[in-house]
């Protein structure tokens, strides 16, 4: 009953449509699903077609917001071209769809459109038709019935692709158009040829068409490199074999000895460089939106007008590289596909992370190094402080010892005065007694005792003089200064050493200059200097085979030098740096004061002490004192140190008073 009602209803609608000559939305019955019949010119399973269908269905369903029933027929008209008007095919549609209430027929492809508009009109009269993926000139928009609309590629669609090819290959010498032998293929080849004319440049056009696929491939292989190969379409070859173009476009592109361009986005990726392409997925969406507009027309509203399929530029980055074509010459806005990221793009994250880690490590190492150097510096400063504290401690201890020695010297000099005075008066008394009360003495014995008493008195004087100076020194008094003849000082010192030299079996030689060797100062102090240096020299050459000490003077223009040289073992560098420090000694019984006293006396006389030391050649101590010009000499200080008794006793010491 229900079925019968619907048939009646449909029949009345068809009648109404036939009467008014145009489709109206009144056909659609509220409350039932929208029924859409999709007719595919080819098989519906080819990948581009699947893309189209998937988007078309989804968009339509989403936009309608009510149930949509899809019916789908793949006419495969390229292979069954002659059957499109056969009564059995129409009968099939009649049996299947008549009375079902198809709301819209969507014809995908040129021949599907033709089939829908003409034979099928008898089965589904007046049902609105929306065609998709059609192209001029096969579809002429001006000759379409009123209930037909759709989306159409312009006849000039090859133009932008050719323009792109010309930009990429400015040195191209020909355009080669490749096409199949089918009707749709020929229409595409024609459109491509007319595009080359409209391009306006005089490149020769070669058409490779009508051959079998097996014959086409070698032809493409032999093409000259400076060719632009344009893929028009290839659904059927010259031997009547049908193809899905997507299946063969890759082999054609790979065989071609020159870059190949095509019109469909799906072909980019199969080996063609690119082109001004249409997207089937995009067309699925746009066709669905057009269908929605058709279904939602108000009563009496005409069909929406035919729309133009938009093309956009796409290119395969890998093919640009293969043919050495510059990416920069691509038209603006080209969709560059399959671009492989550069090493930097690919490893950027890793490189950046590595840089960050390396930077952090660098900072850490730098910080550690800085810390270490700071620690070392601090340690060095600490050690320096410790060293200077130690030096200060030693200095304080030294000063303490010096003070003690000072006190000791003061005490000794005070204490010794009395015995010395007693010794002297005894010696003087002895001498007096001898002169008055010893007439019985043998003259030689008398003379001996006279000299003995004189010597004791002289040594006593010398000792007193030294003690007086030590006392003055300790009290900080300045000693009276007078001209002193250093030749005399050396002579008197040598005389005093005679006994010592003899005891040590040493030879003391005097080498005195003939020029006046006058200086200003204290004769006793100078004598002390010579004695200290000479005694050290005698100590140093103690173990020599023939111990020898030379005391010499040299008067120059502005200074007088007196030197003490020995043939001892010399002075090591280690000892040398402590030589003049008080209490420094290498001798078991030494005090370590001799050289300190020498230096202090010499410095008090504005002089200086130098040391020459050669290992195995002994040491030489030189003392340099400013010379007093002889014209300025008033009276010269004399030392009372002549020791005739000693001189007579000495057998080894020899004195040369000139040189
Ligand atoms: P002392 O004689 O009591 O040791 P000095 O101050 O006179 O004190 O001498 C200090 C040190 O200098 C000596 O112990 C010795 O090592 C060294 N010295 C002095 N004169 C000589 C020299 N002529 N040859 C080698 N070493 C010397």
Nearest CA to ligand 1 atom 13: 585
| Residue 73, beta-bridge partner list | 39
Residue 560 lies in a domain: yes
Using a 10 angstrom Cβ sphere, with 0-12 exposed, 13-18 middle and 19 or more buried, the burial of residue 291 is buried
256 band by pLDDT with thresholds 50, 70 and 90: very high
Does the pLDDT at position 79 exceed 80? Answer: no
Same domain for 639 and 608: yes
- Same domain? For 166 and 310 the reply is yes
Task: State whether the beta carbon of 619 lies less than 6 angstroms from ligand 1.
Answer: yes
Residue nearest to atom 24 of ligand 1 (CA): 540
From the CA of 585, how far away is ligand 1's center (Å)?
6
Lowest average pLDDT, out of 32-36, 202-206, 638-642, goes to 638-642
For ligand 1, the distance from its centroid to the CA atom of residue 578, given in whole angstroms, is 10
Q: Which two tokens stand for residue 169?
A: 């290959």
- Residue listed under structure tokens 């003490």: 564
469 domain residue, yes or no: no
Both 546 and 587 in one domain: the answer is yes
Closest CA to 37 of 291, 293, 297: 291
pLDDT bracket for residue 636 (50, 70, 90): low
Count of the separate structural domains present in the chain: 4
Query: Can you give the CATH number for the domain in which 217 is found?
Result: 3.40.50.2300
Whether 471 shows a pLDDT value over 80: the answer reads: no
Asked whether 590 lines ligand 1 (CB < 6 A), one says yes
- Check: CB of residue 12 under 8 Å from CB of residue 80: no
- For residue 655, the CA-to-ligand 1 centroid distance in Å is 24
Q: Residues 185, 333: one domain?
A: yes
Same domain, 617 and 638: yes
- What is the reported pLDDT for 373? 94
Q: How far is CA 287 from CA 63, 306, 655, in A?
A: 12, 11, 139
- Closest ligand 1 atom number to CA of residue 566: 23
Radius of gyration of the chain (CA): 67
Q: Which residue has the tokens 């939106």?
A: 289
Is the overall model pTM greater than 0.75, yes or no?
no
pLDDT more than 70, % of the chain? 87
Look at 254-258, 381-385, 480-484 and tell me which has the smallest mean pLDDT. 480-484
> Tell me, what's the pLDDT at 282?
93
Task: Report whether pLDDT(28) > 60.
Answer: no
> pLDDT tens for residues 118-128?
999 999 999 99
Question: What pLDDT does residue 648 have?
Answer: 34
Residue (of 221, 308, 319) closest to 267 by Cα position: 319
Q: Looking at the CA of residue 537, tell me the nearest atom of ligand 1.
A: 23
Q: Does residue 126 line the site of ligand 1, with CB under 6 A?
A: no
Which of 570, 595, 612 most suits a substitution to test ligand 1, by most atoms within 8 Å of the C-beta? 595
The confidence score (pLDDT) of residue 10 equals 38
Among protein residues, the one whose CA lies closest to atom 8 of ligand 1: 592
Per-residue model confidence as pLDDT tens digits over 533-557: 999 999 999 989 999 999 999 999 8
Instruction: Indicate the pLDDT class of residue 398, thresholds 50, 70 and 90.
Output: low
The residue among 333, 23, 32 whose CA lies nearest residue 149 is 23
Question: In this structure, is the dihedral angle defined by the CA atoms of residues 37, 40, 45 and 46, taken in order, positive or negative?
Answer: negative
Domain end: 94, 123, 153, which one? 153
Q: Assess if residue 196 is contained within a domain.
A: yes
Task: Report the CATH number that the domain containing residue 487 is assigned in CATH.
Answer: 3.30.565.10
d(CA 245, CA 262) in angstroms, rounded, equals: 11
Q: CA-to-CA distance for 400 and 482, rounded, in angstroms? A: 33
Say if 450 falls within a structural domain.
no
Beta-carbon neighbour count of residue 617 at 10 Å? 14
Token pair belonging to 189: 């080849």
- Whether residues 398 and 497 fall in one domain: no
| Paired tokens of 177 | 């158009």
Structural element, H or E, at residue 317: helix 317-323
Band of pLDDT at residue 132, cut at 50, 70 and 90: very high
Q: Is residue 237 part of a domain?
A: yes
| 312 inside domain | yes
573 CA distance to ligand 1 centroid (A)? 13
Instruction: Name the least confident of 4-13, 163-172, 382-391, 505-514.
Output: 4-13
pLDDT score at 399? 67
pLDDT score of 48: 83
Q: Can you say how many angstroms the Cα of residue 55 is from the centroid of all Cα atoms in its chain?
A: 54
Phi, psi values for residue 106, rounded to 5°: -110, 115
How far is the centre of ligand 1, averaged over its atoms, from the C-alpha of 536 (Å)?
6
Q: In angstroms, what is the span from residue 510 Cα to ligand 1's centroid?
A: 21
Q: Is any atom of ligand 1 closer than 6 Å to the C-beta of 485?
A: no
Using CA atoms, how far residue 457 sits from 298, 420, 428, 633, in Å, is: 160, 10, 7, 29
Task: Establish whether residue 581 lines the binding site of ligand 1, counting it when its CB lies within 6 angstroms of any ligand atom.
Answer: no
Q: What is the pLDDT of residue 397?
A: 64
pLDDT over 60 at 21, yes or no? no
CA neighbor of 160 nearest in space, from 58, 277, 256: 277
Give the strand pairing for 104-108 and 68-74: unpaired
The per-residue pLDDT for 401 is: 63
φ, ψ dihedrals at 300, nearest 5°: 85, -10
Cα 326 to ligand 1 centre (Å): 95
Q: Is 540 in the pocket of ligand 1 (CB under 6 A)?
A: yes
Q: What is the pLDDT of residue 533?
A: 95
Q: What is the pLDDT of residue 161?
A: 94
Q: Nearest residue CA, atom 4 of ligand 1?
A: 585
Say yes or no: 139 and 216 in one domain: no
What lies within 8 Å, CB to CB, of 631 at 6+ separation is none
CA of 169 to the centre of ligand 1 (A): 103
Handedness of CA 88, 91, 95, 100 (dihedral sign): positive
Q: Residue 423: count other Cβ atoms within 10 Å of its Cβ.
A: 17
The verdict on the CB of residue 549 being under 6 Å from ligand 1 is no
Q: What is the mean pLDDT of residues 503-521?
A: 93
Which one of 127, 153, 179 terminates a domain?
153
With a 6 Å cutoff on the Cβ, whether 538 touches ligand 1 is: no
Please indicate, yes or no, if residue 427 is contained in any of the structural domains.
yes
Written as six digits, the tokens of 640 are 């009372």
Nearest protein CA to atom 12 of ligand 1, as residue: 579
Instruction: In whole angstroms, give the CA distance from residue 460 to residue 452.
Output: 12
Q: Could you tell me if 99 and 6 lie in one domain?
A: yes
Q: Which helix (H) or strand (E) holds 158?
A: helix 158-168
Spacing, Cα 577 to ligand 1 middle (Å): 12
Do 500 and 600 lie in one domain? The reply is yes
Q: Cα–Cα distance between 494 and 646 in angstroms, integer?
A: 11
Say yes or no: 330 and 364 in one domain. Answer: no
Other CB atoms within 10 A of residue 302 CB: 12
Cβ of 531 below 6 Å from ligand 1:
no
Write down the mean pLDDT value for the chain.
85
**Is the C-beta atom of 585 inside 6 A of ligand 1?**
yes
Residues spanned by the domain of 493: 481-657
374 and 330 inside one domain: no
Asked if residue 65 and residue 213 are part of one domain, the reply reads no
Helix ranges (H only) for 438-516 are 443-475, 486-503
Contact status, residue 219 vs residue 211, Cβ threshold 8 Å? yes
| Structure-model confidence comparison of residues 350 and 82, the more confident one | 350
CB 457 within 8 A of CB 431: yes
Atom of ligand 1 nearest to the CA of 532: 7
542 CA distance to ligand 1 centroid (A)? 13
Q: Which of 536, 579, 596 to mutate to test the pocket of ligand 1 (most atoms within 8 A of CB)?
A: 536
How much is the pLDDT for 111? 87
pLDDT above 60 for 117: yes
Last residue of some domain: 153, 177, 201?
Answer: 153
Q: How far is CA 202 from the centre of its chain?
A: 58
User: Separation of 626 CA from ligand 1 center, angstroms?
Assistant: 25
pLDDT at 650: 32
Per-residue model confidence as pLDDT tens digits over 437-455: 766 777 788 788 888 888 8
pLDDT band at residue 566 using 50, 70 and 90 as cut-offs: very high
Report yes or no on 468 lying in a domain: no
Q: Could you report the per-residue pLDDT of 281-298, keeping only the tens digit for each?
A: 999 999 999 999 999 999
CA 465 to CA 461: how far, in whole Å? 6
pLDDT value of position 4 = 35
pLDDT value at residue 11: 37
The alpha carbon torsion through 439, 445, 450, 452 (nearest 10 deg) reads -150
Beta bridge partners of 626: 559
Q: What's the 571 CA to ligand 1 centre distance in angstroms?
A: 9
Tens digits of per-residue pLDDT, 194-251? Answer: 888 887 777 899 999 989 999 999 999 999 999 999 999 998 999 988 888 888 999 9
The structure tokens listed for 556 are 């120059």
């Amino acid at each position: 009953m229900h079925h019968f009602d619907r048939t009646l209803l449909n029949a009345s609608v068809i009648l109404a449509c036939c009467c008014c000559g145009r489709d109206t939305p009144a056909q659609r019955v509220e409350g039932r699903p929208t029924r859409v019949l999709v007719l595919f010119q080819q098989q519906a399973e080819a990948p581009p077609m699947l893309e189209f269908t998937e988007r078309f269905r989804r968009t339509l369903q989403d936009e309608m917001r009510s149930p949509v029933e899809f019916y789908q027929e793949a006419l495969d008209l390229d292979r069954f071209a002659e059957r499109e008007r056969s009564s059995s095919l129409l009968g099939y549609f009649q049996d299947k769809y008549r009375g079902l209430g198809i709301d819209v027929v969507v014809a995908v492809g040129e021949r599907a459109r033709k089939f829908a508009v003409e034979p099928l009109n008898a089965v589904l009269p007046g049902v609105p038709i929306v065609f998709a993926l059609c192209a001029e000139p096969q579809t002429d928009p001006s000759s379409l019935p009123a209930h037909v609309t759709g989306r159409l590629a312009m006849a000039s669609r090859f133009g932008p692709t050719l323009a792109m090819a010309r930009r990429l290959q400015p040195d191209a010498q020909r355009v080669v158009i490749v096409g199949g032998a089918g009707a749709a293929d020929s229409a595409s080849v024609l459109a491509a040829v007319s595009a080359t004319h409209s391009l306006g440049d005089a490149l020769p056009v070669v058409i490779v068409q009508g051959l079998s696929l097996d014959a086409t491939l070698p032809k493409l292989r032999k093409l000259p490199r400076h060719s632009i190969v344009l893929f028009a379409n290839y659904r059927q070859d010259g031997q009547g074999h049908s193809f899905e173009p997507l299946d063969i476009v890759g082999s054609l592109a790979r065989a071609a000895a020159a870059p190949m361009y095509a019109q469909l986005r799906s072909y980019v990726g199969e080996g063609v460089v690119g082109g001004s392409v249409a997207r089937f997925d995009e067309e699925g969406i746009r066709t669905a939106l057009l269908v929605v507009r058709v279904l939602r027309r108000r009563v009496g509203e005409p069909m929406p007008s035919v729309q133009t399929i938009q093309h956009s530029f796409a290119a395969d980055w890998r093919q640009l590289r293969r043919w050495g074509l510059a990416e920069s010459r691509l038209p603006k806005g080209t969709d560059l596909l399959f671009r492989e990221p550069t090493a930097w793009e690919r490893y950027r994250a890793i490189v950046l992370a590595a840089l960050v880690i390396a930077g952090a490590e660098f900072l850490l190492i730098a910080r550690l190094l800085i810390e270490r150097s700071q620690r070392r510096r601090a340690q060095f400063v600490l050690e320096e402080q410790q060293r200077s504290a130690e030096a200060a401690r030693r200095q304080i201890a030294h000063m303490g010892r010096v003070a003690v020695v000072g006190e000791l010297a003061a005490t000794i000099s005070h204490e010794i005065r009395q015995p010395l005075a007693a010794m002297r008066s005894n010696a003087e008394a002895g001498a007096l007694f001898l002169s008055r009360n010893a007439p019985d003495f043998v003259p030689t014995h008398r003379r001996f005792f006279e000299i003995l008493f004189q010597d004791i008195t002289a040594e006593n004087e010398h000792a007193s003089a030294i003690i007086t100076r030590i006392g003055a020194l300790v009290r900080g008094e300045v000693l009276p200064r007078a001209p002193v003849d250093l030749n005399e000082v050396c002579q008197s010192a040598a005389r005093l050493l005679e006994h010592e030299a003899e005891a040590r079996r040493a030879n003391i030689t005097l080498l005195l200059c003939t020029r006046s060797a006058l200086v200003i100062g204290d004769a006793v102090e100078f004598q002390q200097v010579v004695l200290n240096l000479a005694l050290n020299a005698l100590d140093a050459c103690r173990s020599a085979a023939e111990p020898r000490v030379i005391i010499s003077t040299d008067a120059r223009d502005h200074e007088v030098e007196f030197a003490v040289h020995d043939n001892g073992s010399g002075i090591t560098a280690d000892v040398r740096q402590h030589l003049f420090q008080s209490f420094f000694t290498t001798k078991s019984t030494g005090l370590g004061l001799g050289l300190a006293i020498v230096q202090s006396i010499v410095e008090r006389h504005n002089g200086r002490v130098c040391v020459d030391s050669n290992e195995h050649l002994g040491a030489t101590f030189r003392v340099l004192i400013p010379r007093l010009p002889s014209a300025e000499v008033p009276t010269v200080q004399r030392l009372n140190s002549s020791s005739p008794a000693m001189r007579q006793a000495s057998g080894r010491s020899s004195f040369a008073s000139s040189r």
